[in-house]
């Protein structure tokens, strides 16, 4: 086994102290929609086929391929949905960001609070804004970021062409709305997993809007009961809406958060969904109108579950004693986390080319390490983790 000697870098020297991770329309890096909203090449270019697609609705006069979940009328158990509006979604994001920051800061217990950085997109305030909130140097959270982005604008000819090539059928000049909330929590203890989550919505004038989002864990040390607890939590939410939603969303999460060069998945997963427009009730095999309100209800349930799904696990593991060897392993695993973001996350890759760098890199860990040819000892807890990362398993 190689010795634990290598490069450990402070964010101040290697990474931006405020950062982000990426995608709105497609990618799912740690702070997804944030970077997408601030780079002109992201909106049309990114997409993940996480859910079944079928010809569904017209947009700008052409048939488009959209994602939905099909279920029989009997299977549908979705709760009553509140009416969806873009203004209501914006308010929901801002309010939830505030409550999450308050709850996370209280759980941290250090007295540190999330900073508040509100910025404007361009010179015209009507084009949108963002709120970046970061806590650093806490007792539970070494670095935590919560971002909101709200963007309104008009599609350029290049964007419209790219989206039309993907089947969206939109016209240049069409107005669009994009909104997202993204979180990434890097804990102090190597026994507490890193948490990433987001929700996002994108709509073009004359087209049905679509949602994306997810939540996942990246542990440095495997506690199977934590993975089961986390997955069971989100399965219970998914099952309220469709009997196959969890399985599809878990598979999409496993597929996306993969590091091909390492032949490892980034963590123990969770759920991930994109391009989600409706839950179809087609027991008679006839397509129905999209039900945005029902999907918004699902997205709200997911988002309101971010802290209840994570903080109990974090509080359970935060007091476990650890030494320098465990800390070094944590820094190495954070290196993998950053490798994924910079090498494979679609939003980050595009966003680094001219995007708002502080927004793009806010998801980066505060400290990381890379060391040559590290091979965990057979039978060790480190080796146990790698087995799971190389071959994802069911947790429910």
Residue 61, pLDDT > 90, answer no
Residue 190 and residue 320: Cα distance in Å, rounded? 9
Closest CA to 153 of 130, 175, 135, 124: 175
Q: Confidence class of residue 118 from pLDDT cuts 50, 70 and 90?
A: very high
Give the DSSP H or E segment for 179: strand 175-187
Q: What is the distance between the alpha carbons of residues 268 and 394, in angstroms, rounded to a whole number?
A: 10
Q: The pTM is what? A: 0.80
Q: At what angle do helices 245-256 and 224-239 cross, to 10 degrees?
A: 130
* Residues ≥6 apart with Cβ < 8 Å to 266: 216, 218, 257, 258, 259, 336, 337, 340, 389
CA nearest to 54, candidates 282, 211, 262: 282
Long-range contacts of 329-334 (CB under 8 A, 24+ apart): 329/190, 329/220, 329/221, 329/382, 330/190, 330/220, 331/8, 331/367, 331/368, 331/369, 332/369, 332/370, 332/371, 332/374, 333/218, 333/220, 334/186, 334/194, 334/365, 334/367, 334/368, 334/369
Q: What is the pLDDT of residue 143?
A: 99
Asked if pLDDT for residue 53 goes beyond 70, the answer is: no
- Residues 221-273 pLDDT 10s: 999 999 999 999 999 999 999 999 999 999 999 999 999 999 999 999 999 99
Domains and CATH numbers, the chain: 6-390 (3.40.1500.10)
Question: Highest-confidence range of 46-60, 68-82, 368-382, by mean pLDDT?
Answer: 368-382
Tokens of 202: 């994108």
Q: Mean pLDDT score of the chain, rounded to an integer?
A: 80
């Amino acid at each position: 086994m190689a010795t634990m000697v290598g490069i450990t870098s402070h964010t101040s020297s290697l990474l931006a102290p405020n950062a982000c991770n990426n995608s709105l329309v497609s990618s799912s890096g740690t702070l997804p929609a944030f970077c997408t909203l601030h780079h002109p090449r992201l909106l049309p270019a990114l997409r993940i086929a996480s859910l079944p697609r079928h010809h569904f609705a017209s947009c700008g006069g052409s048939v488009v391929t959209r994602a939905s979940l099909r279920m029989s009328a009997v299977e549908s158990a979705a709760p009553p949905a509140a009416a969806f509006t873009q203004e209501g979604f914006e308010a929901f994001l801002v309010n939830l960001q505030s409550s999450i920051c308050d709850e996370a800061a209280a759980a941290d217990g250090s007295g540190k609070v999330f900073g508040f950085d509100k910025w404007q997109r361009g010179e015209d305030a009507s084009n949108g804004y963002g709120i970046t909130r970061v806590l650093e140097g806490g007792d539970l959270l070494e670095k935590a970021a919560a971002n909101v982005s709200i963007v309104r604008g008009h599609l350029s000819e290049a964007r419209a062409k790219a989206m039309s090539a993907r089947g969206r059928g939109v016209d240049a000049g069409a107005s669009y709305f994009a909104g997202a909330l993204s979180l990434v929590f890097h804990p102090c203890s190597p026994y507490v997993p890193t948490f990433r989550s987001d929700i996002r919505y994108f709509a073009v004038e004359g087209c049905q809007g679509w949602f994306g989002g997810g939540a996942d864990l990246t542990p440095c040390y495997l506690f199977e009961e934590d993975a089961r607890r986390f997955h069971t939590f989100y399965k219970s939410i998914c099952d309220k809406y469709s009997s196959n939603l969890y399985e599809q969303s878990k598979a999409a999460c496993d597929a996306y958060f993969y590091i091909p060069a390492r032949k490892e998945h980034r963590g123990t997963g969770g759920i991930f969904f994109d391009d989600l427009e409706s839950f179809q009730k087609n027991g008679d095999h006839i397509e129905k109108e999209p039900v945005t309100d029902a999907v918004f209800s699902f997205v709200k349930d997911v988002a309101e579950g971010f802290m209840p799904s994570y903080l109990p696990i974090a509080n359970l593991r935060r007091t476990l004693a650890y030494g320098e060897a465990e800390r070094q392993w944590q820094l190495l695993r954070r290196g993998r986390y950053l490798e994924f973001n910079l090498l494979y996350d679609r939003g980050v890759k595009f966003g680094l080319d001219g995007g708002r760098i502080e927004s793009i890199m806010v998801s980066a860990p505060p400290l990381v390490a890379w060391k040559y040819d590290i091979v965990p000892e057979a039978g060790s807890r480190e080796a146990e983790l790698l087995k799971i990362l190389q071959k994802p398993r069911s947790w429910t």
